[in-house]
Amino acid sequence: MSEYNDLKSAVEKLEIMQKKMAAYNHATGLLYFDSVTVAPKDTTAGRGQTMGILTEESYKVFVNDETPKLLEYLKQNEEQLDEKIKLQVKKLDEDYKKISNIPMDEYVQYNMLINDAQSVWHEAKQKNDYLLFEPYLNKIVATVRKFATYLDSSKNPYDVWLNEYEKGLTMEIADEYFAALRTELVPLVHKVMSSKKKIDDSFSYKNYSVRKQEKLSDFLMEVLTIDRNHCNIGQTEHPFTINFNSNDVRITTHYHKNNLLSSMFSVIHEGGHALYELNCDDEYDFTALSGGTSMGIHESQSRFFENIIGRSRSFTNYLYPYLKKMFPVQFKDVTKVMLYEALNKSQPSLIRTEADELTYSLHVMVRYELEKRLINGSLSTKDLPAEWNRLYKEYLGVDVPNDTKGVLQDSHWSGGAIGYFPSYSLGSAYASQMLFHMKKDLDIDALTQKGNLKPIVEWLKERVHKYASSKTPAEIIQICCNEDFKPHYYTDYLKMKFSSIYEI
């Protein structure tokens, strides 16, 4: 290629391009973060225009006549590149093939649609008015389906998206995975439901001042070893984590006056995501390999801290005196055992983010079934709420009283994330497998009992976090466990834990 004098200048071009893309991602990420945290309500239009323009500009930085030539040249000289650059080229080449198939105007249009849809979803959820949101979701589904054919027209559209969020995942694998879970979990859930053991968690629904809950969040962040100079907490309807680079991560939570555990576990969950991002090696920042490698691995980290650590007996022992001191009135008659049991109380419920560890995957299965049908065209967005309610009855045995507590509860679809939900369940399964192998190196109970999470975080940093996106999910599992992904660790873990709690 005559355009490049030497490899060095080509690599420089590649770096500049990636830095530019990172800058646009930072800006559009911040516009989104602003919109759901502190922005005034009626400011969507101007933000939408800015998002549209910046997305278009960012698209042009990547998709143009120059990029394929640059990538081709670098591939041809691959043997002279260092490993890091080689991986960047590989990732960018894959991305290019996919994204360059999406016409720019459609890509920009979609991003503007998402911007509007998120704001409408907020309103619809608040007003319990699904019909307000339905036209937007309808357009999102159509676009997601269309984009799938752009990304890989040889595959089933839903498979395309499963693979986007979790490289290697297909409906075939997911169907089998969820079927296995169902076989193991449904009988267990039934046993738990019919157990005579009754758990009293009423204390957790007493009045907890938001100010004190904020202090508790600060305490939990410290226990999680999160450096607050690089990560803070905002407040949003739906908790989430966003990273601008490995030194600038934000998590959000939602405080409920009459629910201690909701925000507490949101903070631990999002804190797990944040640790992953904060511990990514700096050298991946501002490149195509920045940030966590997949949604499934990301969820493995959040759910490791939320459930495996956060809801363990030993961590409860550690937390108990702190909570008792902070909330002496509400905890007057609460024992350590009561606290442990309360935060592991299992009962079929309506809200995914507040579901217990055992029934959680049933919530995911509902969404998995519905997404599959939405994308395959066998379910219309008009019929979605009725189907949602029907499946909640079938899988969880609960009646959905309104769409706010039903189909409108999650933000994902309003943001275009269809195919994401299965990764939540997969994440739990990965986490259980990691736990099994971590136990060979660390006395986890002894550490969490003392609130000393540093060695645990370090273990994960060395095997998961530091690699950012330079390894595939399967490679990460191999590094952690020295074997392939196996779902039985998850069901073993749940059976052991809940049999003990419910004395079955």
- Minimum distance between the CB of residue 94 and a second copy, rounded to whole angstroms? 24
Extract the tokens encoding 47: 């933000």
Stretch near a second copy under the rule CB under 8 A, chosen from 28-36, 65-73, 93-101, 369-377: 28-36
Judged by CB, which is closer to a second copy: 31, or 199? Answer: 31
- Minimum distance between the CB of residue 225 and a second copy, rounded to whole angstroms? 15
- By CB under 8 A, name the one of 27, 99, 113, 199 that touches a second copy: 27
Interaction of residue 40 with a second copy, rule CB under 8 A: yes
> Of 276, 267, 277, 273, whose CA–CA distance to 215 is shortest?
267
Judged by CB, which is closer to a second copy: 18, or 316? Answer: 18
- Minimum distance between the CB of residue 27 and a second copy, rounded to whole angstroms? 4
Extract the tokens encoding 201: 């968690």
Judged by CB, which is closer to a second copy: 132, or 142? Answer: 132
Interaction of residue 13 with a second copy, rule CB under 8 A: no
User: Given 134, 270, 277, 357, which residue is catalytic?
Assistant: 270
User: Could you give phi then psi for residue 285, rounded to 5 degrees?
Assistant: -55, 145
- By CB under 8 A, name the one of 5, 6, 8, 42 that touches a second copy: 42
Stretch near a second copy under the rule CB under 8 A, chosen from 19-27, 196-204, 216-224, 422-430: 19-27
CB burial string 223-250: b at 16+ within 10 A, e below: bbbbeeebbebbebebbbbbbbbbebbb
* CB contact set of 388 (below 8 Å; sequence gap of 6+): 366, 370, 400, 406, 407
Interaction of residue 212 with a second copy, rule CB under 8 A: no
- By CB under 8 A, name the one of 45, 179, 186, 386 that touches a second copy: 45
- By CB under 8 A, name the one of 133, 147, 178, 244 that touches a second copy: 244
Window 264-303: residues binding a second copy (CB under 8 A): 285-286
Query: Which of helix, strand or coil describes residue 439?
Result: coil
Extract the tokens encoding 316: 């409860």
> Of 411, 420, 408, whose CA–CA distance to 371 is shortest?
420
- By CB under 8 A, name the one of 234, 397, 451, 455 that touches a second copy: 234
For the chain, the first-to-last Cα distance in angstroms comes to: 70
Query: Which of helix, strand or coil describes residue 253?
Result: strand
Interaction of residue 26 with a second copy, rule CB under 8 A: yes
Could you tell me whether strands 231-235 and 248-253 are parallel, antiparallel, or unpaired per DSSP bridges? parallel
Interaction of residue 104 with a second copy, rule CB under 8 A: no
Place of tokens 């967005």: 381
Interaction of residue 481 with a second copy, rule CB under 8 A: no
Judged by CB, which is closer to a second copy: 27, or 504? Answer: 27
- By CB under 8 A, name the one of 230, 254, 324, 373 that touches a second copy: 230
> Of 151, 160, 174, 457, whose CA–CA distance to 296 is shortest?
174
How many residues are present in the chain?
504
Judged by CB, which is closer to a second copy: 81, or 233? Answer: 233
**Contact present, 349 and 225 (Cβ < 8 Å):** no
Interaction of residue 113 with a second copy, rule CB under 8 A: no
Interaction of residue 247 with a second copy, rule CB under 8 A: yes
Interaction of residue 100 with a second copy, rule CB under 8 A: no
Interaction of residue 34 with a second copy, rule CB under 8 A: yes
Interaction of residue 373 with a second copy, rule CB under 8 A: no
* Catalytic-residue membership of 56: no
User: Could you give phi then psi for residue 252, rounded to 5 degrees?
Assistant: -130, 160
Residue 248 bridge partners (DSSP)? 245
- By CB under 8 A, name the one of 228, 390, 439, 450 that touches a second copy: 228
Judged by CB, which is closer to a second copy: 57, or 462? Answer: 57
Q: How far apart are CA 426 and CA 473, in angstroms?
A: 11
Residue 491 bridge partners (DSSP)? none
Q: Is 354 left (phi over 0), alpha (psi -120 to 50) or beta?
A: alpha
Cα 295–299–301 angle (5° rounding)? Answer: 125
Question: Which CA distances in Å does 331 have to 305, 327, 448?
Answer: 24, 6, 22
Interaction of residue 53 with a second copy, rule CB under 8 A: yes
Q: Outline where 195-312 has alpha helix (H).
A: 210-223, 260-278, 295-303
Judged by CB, which is closer to a second copy: 200, or 218? Answer: 218
Judged by CB, which is closer to a second copy: 230, or 486? Answer: 230
Stretch near a second copy under the rule CB under 8 A, chosen from 93-101, 223-231, 410-418, 423-431: 223-231
Active site residues: 270
Contacts with a second copy, residue ranges (CB under 8 A): 19-20, 22-24, 26-27, 30-31, 33-34, 37-43, 45-47, 49-50, 53-54, 57, 227-232, 234, 244-245, 247-250, 285-286
